[in-house]
Structure 1
Amino acid sequence: MSAPYSELQINRVLSSKLAADVAAALQELASLGFNEMQITTTLELLLSDRENGRKGEPPIDLVTSGPETPGITNRDTAVVVRELFTHAQKSVLIVGYAVYQGVRVFEALAKRMHALPDLDVQMFLDISRPDNDMTQAEILISRFAQRFRDSQWPKGCRF
C-alpha cells in the first residue's frame, strides 16, 4: 500500500467503519513527509505497545476536579488528589491553573514521595504575569517556586 492513501485501499484490510479515519491519518502522515517505511515502523510500534506495552501495569487515572459546571460532574479536589497521591506507584503528573490550600492538598503527596523516593512527580502550574510585566521568565519561575515551597508545600518535606 502506498500514498496517496484512500478509503478504498484501507477498506481491503480494515472494517469500513475505520477505513475513512485510517486513510485520513495515513494521508496526514504522508503529507508531513513520512515515507512508507516510517509509517510502517510507526504502526508496528503502536501495535507492539498495544500488545505488550502495559501488561501488568495499572491504568492511567485521569480525574478532573474543581467548581461545579452544568453538565460536568467533578469530584472535590482535596478528596480526589489525596486518594490519588496516597496510592501513586510510579509517577504523578499535576496540571493546574490555581492552587488553594496547597499544604493540605499536597500533604499526602509529600508523604508518598518520602515513602517512595523514586516516585516521579511533575507539576505544570500557571504562573501568572501581570500586564506589561517585563520580568525575565527565569526570575518569575524562581519567585513562584519559592512562594509555592513557602506557602503551598508541607513544611520540612522533600520538594
Structure 2
Amino acid sequence: MRLNLDALHALSTANLRALATSFRDGQLAMGLTAASINQLLCGCDVDVLSCLETLVSNGMGAPQCALLLDAITNERERAPDLARLFEPVLSGPDVPGVPTGDTAAAMQMLVQEARKEVLLVGYAVYNGERLFEPLALRMRENPELKVTFCLNIARRFGDTSLDSEVVNRYALDFHQKHWPWPELPELYYDPRALSESSEHRASLHAKCVVVDHRAALITSANFTDAAQYRNIEMGLLVRHSPLAERVADYFEGLRLSGHLLRCPL
C-alpha cells in the first residue's frame, strides 16, 4: 500500500519535532488519539490524524513513527533554501512591491567574491572600461585570479578582410576601449561569426558571469552601459555549484575542443 505523507510534509518543523517527541516519550507513545493530536498541534488536524492512523494500522509502532518524523525533519533541514540559491536579477523602472536593481550591481558583487576564476560570456561590449574596472582591480589585488572572456567577434556586412584581420582589429579595440589595464584576461571567440556566408554564420549570443564554478549570473544583459544600468533586463543569480560548474564546463569544453578560438591581446 502506498502511503500519502503530504499532511506530514505540510506541518512546520516545530510540529514535526513535537509529534516525534510525543511518539517517543509522551502521550502518543501510549496510543494515538484525536485529543493528543489536538493538544500537540493546537487544533486537531484531520489529515494529520488520518495519516498517522494509516501508519499505525499498517504496523508502525510509536518508535517507528518517531523515526519517520525525525527523518522528515532532518531531510527538510538538509535541503537548501531555494530562495537563497536562486535570486532573480530584475533591471528596469521601479515597480511597487517588486525589488529591482541594475544588473551591474549583481555582476560586481560576484567579482568581489571571486577567488580563483571569473568567466564572462557576452554578445556585445560597449564602453566596457567603466564596467570592467572593478574586475581589473580584483586581478591586480589577486594575481592568481584567472579571467576569461568569451565574446562575439563578428564580421561586419561587406567586410571582406581576412578572418585574422577582423580578429586583430577587435583585439586592438578591446584593449583600447574596454580593457586598458596591463593585467590581461584571456579572450575567446566563435570563428563561425566571421563566416562570409549567412548560411554558415553563427553568433555567440549567450550572456553570463560565472565565478569559481560555484555561482553564476545568467542574464539577458550585454556588457554595455545601457544593458547593465538602464534597460529592462532579466537574469537569474544562481548560487548552486553543480549548475554553475555545468555552465563553466560547457564553455571550457568549447575552448578545449576548438569550437572557441583564442584571440591574441
Higher relative contact order (CA 8 A, sep 6+): 2
Write 1 or 2 for the structure with the bigger share of strand: 2
User: TM-score w.r.t. structure 1 length?
Assistant: 0.49
Rg (Cα) greater in structure: 2
User: TM-score w.r.t. structure 2 length?
Assistant: 0.31
